[in-house]
Amino acid sequence: MKGYTAALPSGEAIHYVDRKRWLWLLSVTYPLQPFVAIWLHWLTGNETWLLLPIAINYGLGPAVDWALGEDRNNPPEEVALQLDQDRYYRWLTYSAVPLHYVTLIGSAWYVGTQNLSLFGMLSLAIVAGMTAGLAINTGHELGHKNSRIEKLLAKIVLAVPAYGHFTIDHNRGHHRNVATPGDPASARMGESIYRFALREIPGAFFEAWAIETERLTRRDRPAWHPNNQILQSFALTAVIALGLIVAFGWIMIPLLLIHHVMAWWQLTSANYVEHYGLLRQTDAHGKVERCEPHHSWNSNHIFSNLVLFHLERHSDHHAHPLRRYQSLRHFDSAPQLPNGYFGVYLLAYVPWLWYRVMDKRLLALPHIQGNLDKINVDPDARAAIFLRYGRDKMVAPTLG
Amino acid sequence: MSEYRCPECGYTYDEALGDEFEGYPSGTPFAALPDDFTCPSCAVRHKEDFEKVNKL
């Protein structure tokens, strides 16, 4: 298998082999999972099979993550550059793009032509939409790169879940403001995922729009201009929708609405668990500290990482936003989630359970050690949190 | 005209070229960029973090 050789600072040579090289095909093919459900319905006529991906992701997924455990593969920093430059890995992300389209169009075709009941239609819409959350993940990997082809492919793949504003907001909004109270994509302690969603979904869009229109203004262009990167991707979303409606009828409208919202919900879920409660400190001059490894929650579980292009190695991603998925490194010392994303999403969907598990994990982090001033606390939950976890005196609430 | 590089991702702002996509015309000095200027490529380094490239 292909290896990379580098010299350590001591002068000693190391040789690293990426044993996950071929396993990354899982991230490429996982978006096709609705076809397994479709095939089983086709064979049996039983519409319950259409929900199979939900059982796989949220039933089997956390169990496999727990059983297979953590990933022992961790590329040394010295080979990260070579690994990053190996073009094989970026070809995998390119090839995922058409597959996201195949899943959307295939699912739409099935709903449009197979006379499913309402239950059947809803099931496939939900499952296809959940799967389209992976398109946002593919778009995340592509959109962080500077090559023209990758920037273009990001816009193309983000059109599938109708999330064309992602690259702008994520790269220039979230990465800049991560783990501060003002970031719509960083969750606060005491904020349930449901309240977070009400802030994150519109917040991300309006922030992206403001950032992009500011750029266009610098170029003496109006917001509604062909160069608007957000509108380019949404235009493609509109073309896809129109094409599907013409091909398969008005049933495509509820299908696409459900599909898109389910995809957005996947991103909301990821954003929620990635920085919950973590806070970058502000100095006396109002300057916010640089994003450090302890400002992200991570998971090193091998199965879920292999279907998510290493998304869960989040601290390294924030340290090196342009670093490619294959080179992302794990740090034992960074905050760890108790399971991969599939498992922790389930926790998040039951807020009292989430708080029970995660709040004490948050408070126990070495850089926090129970100090609520080091935590991004939801203002509406502040009083209750102080009563439960605070020390002798209540600190005056600060605006978040 | 000088160049200024982001120490994290290598994005380089060349004063002579500006950055057309970002809306900074050629010849715009680095000092004239907004105070809250953040690396357009990685967004994790700010104006004060950029390093002037020494051209020998």
Q: What is the pLDDT of residues B4-39, one digit of tens each?
A: 999 999 999 999 999 999 999 999 999 999 999 999
Closest residue to B44, CB basis, from A146, A175, A217: A175
ipTM of the complex, rounded to two decimals: 0.95
Residues of chain B contacting A296 with CB distance shorter than 8 Å: none
Residue closest to A190 by CA, chosen among A368, A5, A362: A362
Chain B CB contacts of A219 below 8 Å: 20, 23
**Residue B47 C-alpha, separation from nearest chain A C-alpha, in angstroms:** 13
Interchain CB distance below 8 Å, A176 and B23:
no
E strand map for chain A = 3-7, 13-17
For residue range A180-195, list pLDDT tens digits in order. Answer: 999 999 999 999 999 9
User: What percentage of chain A carries pLDDT values higher than 70?
Assistant: 97
Q: Which of A215, A218, A322 sits opposite B42 (nearest CB)?
A: A322
Q: Indicate the pTM of the whole model.
A: 0.95
Does A1 or A45 have the greater pLDDT score? A45
Using CA coordinates, name the residue in chain A closest to B40.
A172
B40:A172 CB<8 A? yes
Which distant-in-sequence residues (6+ apart) come within 8 Å of A278 by Cβ? Answer: A179, A186, A294, A295, A296, A297, A335, A362, A375, A376
With a CB cutoff of 8 Å and minimum separation 6, the contacts of A61 are A303, A304, A340, A342, A343
Q: How close, in Å, is residue B1 to chain A by CA atoms? A: 21
Confidence bin at A8 (pLDDT 50/70/90): confident
Which residues have C-beta within 8 Å of that of residue A241, sequence separation ≥ 6?
A252, A256
- Give pLDDT tens digits for A247-270: 999 999 999 999 999 999 999 999
Q: Which is it for strands B12-14 and B3-5: parallel, antiparallel or unpaired? A: antiparallel
Please give the helix or strand (H or E) that residue A252 lies within, else none: helix A252-275
pLDDT in tens, A300-359: 999 999 999 999 999 999 999 999 999 999 999 999 999 999 999 999 999 999 999 999
Cβ separation of A176 and B40 shorter than 8 Å?
no
Is A321 in Cβ contact with B22 (below 8 Å)? no
pLDDT tens-digit series, residues A34-88: 999 999 999 999 999 999 999 999 999 999 999 999 998 999 988 988 999 999 9
Residues 6+ apart with CB under 8 A from A287: none
Q: Which of B26, B35, B44 to mutate to test the interface with A (most CBs of A within 10 A)?
A: B44
Residues of B in contact with A175 (CB under 8 A): 42-44
The answer to whether B44 contacts A171, with C-beta atoms less than 8 Å apart, is: no
Contact call for A217 and B23, based on CB within 8 A:
yes
Answer whether A379's CB lies under 8 Å from A397's CB: yes
CA–CA min distance A332, chain B (Å): 23
Tokens standing for residue A130: 């959940």
Hey, of A169, A174, A175, which one would you mutate to test binding to chain B, going by the most B CBs within 10 A of its CB?
A175
The pLDDT value recorded for residue A393 is 43
Interface test with chain B among A180, A322, A327, by most B beta carbons within 10 Å: A322
